[in-house]
Amino acid sequence: MKVEAYIHNVKFYETDKMNITHHSNYVRWMEEARINFMEKVGCDYRELEKVGISSPVVSVKCDFIKTTTFGDDVYIYVSVKKFNGVRFWVSYEMKCNNEIVLTAESQHCFVKDNMQIINLKKEVPDYYNRLADASKSCDTKKVDSD
């Protein structure tokens, strides 16, 4: 399955006095694009929320390659590196004017309302199966960057 790139148009309020997008915003766009990807492959994040599960970020790693600024359309390509029900590894590539501006990775776990770590395989096997399948077969990268 091919998922279209998620496009974020850079807002005026996302710039800083260097006249570029403040770097903290890319971490927010990773979240936007990841949530959009999950929805597009049939694994809406709000489905987890409805059964009391949330998904905190365990780590992020960003390499800022080029700057962007107000008005730019940033194309965000998401792919799942690994998913085992307990951890979810996602990678990102962002392009602007056909040039790579950022590569990044994030890692996530899944918790119940009391912040106890759970395994989606046990808690929500149906959702787990769908996300595991999508993790293997879905990718935005190849569609748009070719």
Give the nearer residue to a copy of itself in terms of CB position, either 28 or 142: 28
127 vs 144: CA distance, rounded Å: 27
> What's CA 36's distance to the chain center, in Å?
7
- What CA–CA distance (Å, rounded) separates 31 from 21? 16
Q: Which of residues 73-112 bind a copy of itself (CB under 8 A)?
A: none
The residue whose two tokens read 């929805």 is 39
> Minimal distance in Å, beta carbon 27 to a copy of itself?
4
Q: SS3 breakdown of the chain: % helix, strand, coil, rounded to 5? A: 35, 35, 30
Catalytic: 16?
A: yes
The interface with a copy of itself within residues 33-52 (CB under 8 A) comprises 35, 45-46
Distance, C-alpha 57 to centroid of its chain: 11
Residue choice 12, 50, 116, 146 for contact with a copy of itself (CB under 8 A)? 12
142 interacts with a copy of itself by CB under 8 A: no
**Which residues form the interface with a copy of itself (CB under 8 A)?**
11-13, 15-20, 22-25, 27-28, 31-32, 35, 45-46, 54, 56-64, 67, 69-71, 115
Among all residues, which ones are annotated catalytic? 16
